[in-house]
Amino acid sequence: MTGERGIRRPGRVLTALLCALTAAGLYGCSGSGPPEPAPTPTTAPAATSPFTGLPARAAPVLAVKIDNVGAARPQTGLGAADLVYVEQVEGGQTRLLAVFSSRLPDRTGPVRSARESDIELLAQFGTPALAYSGSQTALKPLLRAAPLHALPQEEAPAAFVRSTARAAPHNLYLLPGRALAAAPGTSPAHDIGFRFGPAPGGGTPVREHTVRYPAARYGFTWSAADRTWRVAMDGRPAGTTDAGPLKPSTVVVQYVDIHPSRFHDVLGSVSPYTETVGTGTALVLRDGRAHEARWSRPSATSGTAFTTPDGGPLAFEPGQVWVLLAPEAGRP
C-alpha cells in the first residue's frame, strides 16, 4: 500500500518459518528439486484438482489479493478461482485472497496490497506466485525472502492494467497469464489438506448463514437449484463483472486468532495478524447443512486438515471453496 510504513521485525511464527525454510534451502525454489511424492489413497487423484475436487490438470498456483470494499464491487475473475480466502485487515475491513490454478480468467481484480499474514498462509502451497499492488515498506524484505514469487506491480508492470471505469485505488487489474509468465518455477497445485466426497452424517439444516467481522459482513444463502451458496457482502448480493453471482460449493468458517501485528499504515492503523498455524474449530457449510468441525495445521508448510468432532475427515463438496478466516473472539 503506497505510503505505508512499519517496523521490520516479523512475528514469532513467521520468524520460525523463514528460518526453517532458509535452512532447508527452499527460498527461490525453481521447481528443480526432488519430485513430489506419489499421492496416498486419501489424496485427490492426479487428474483431479486438490483445491476443488474437480477434474483438472496440474498447473501453477497464482494467488491474488483482491479488494472488496463497496467501491471495488463487483469484482472481476473471482468465479474462476479454485479457492477464496477472506482475511481481516485494518479497521475491521476484509480483503480476499483468490487462489487460481485450474482456470485462469483473462483478468482479475481490483488488486490491492499484501499483508504479513499472507506469507504464513501461502507457505502450504509450496512456492506459489503472489500478485498484489504493493506493501508496507518494512514488509518488502519479508516478502522477498518468503517461499513465494512476489509479483507487486513494480516487479511485473506488464501484468497489470488500469481501468478508466473506476477511481484509484480500486481500478488496478491483473492479467493472470502474464503474471505467471513473470514467475517461472511456480509450484503446481498439490495437496493442502482438503478432502472431497460425500457429506458426513448429521449436520444442521441451514438456509442462510452470516459471518461478521468488526466492519464487514458476509451472508451465504443455500441455492438448492444449483447446489451452491450465494454470497452477499454487507447485505448486498455479490457478483462478478464476467461470470455473474459468486456461488461456492463449500463454505468454511475457520475460527482463528487475529491479533495486532507490529506493522501499521500511514494513518497509524495497526495491521492485524491472522494465525493460520495451530488448531481450532470451524463450521463447514455444504449441501444445505452446517457441520461442526475441527481444523489442524501443524506447521506453516503443512496443509490444513478439517475433521468431524470425532476425528474423521470432513469431506467438502467438489467445486469452488471459500474459507473465511474469522475472529475466534467473535464466534456466536
How many beta carbons lie within 10 A of that of residue 244, not counting itself?
Answer: 10
Residue 321 included in any domain = yes
Residue 29 included in any domain = no
Among the listed residues 279, 170, 258, the one whose alpha carbon sits nearest the alpha carbon of residue 214? 258
User: Which domain does 181 fall in, by range?
Assistant: 60-332
Residue 247 included in any domain = yes
CATH code of the domain in which 275 resides: 3.50.90.10
Between the CA atoms of 328, 113, 302 and 200, what dihedral angle is there, to the nearest 10 degrees?
Answer: 50
Residue 35 included in any domain = no
| Angle at 40 (CA atoms; ends 13, 46), nearest 5 degrees | 95
- Judged against a pLDDT cut of 80, whether residue 292 lies above it is answered with yes
Q: Of the ranges 102-106, 164-168, 285-289, which one carries the lowest mean pLDDT score?
A: 164-168
- Judged against a pLDDT cut of 90, whether residue 332 lies above it is answered with no
pLDDT digits (tens, 9 = 90+) for 128-146: 999 999 888 888 999 999 9
Residue 163 included in any domain = yes
Residue 47 included in any domain = no
Residue 7 included in any domain = no
Residue 10 included in any domain = no
Q: How many domains are contained in the chain?
A: 1
User: What's residue 270's pLDDT?
Assistant: 84
pTM for the whole structure = 0.86
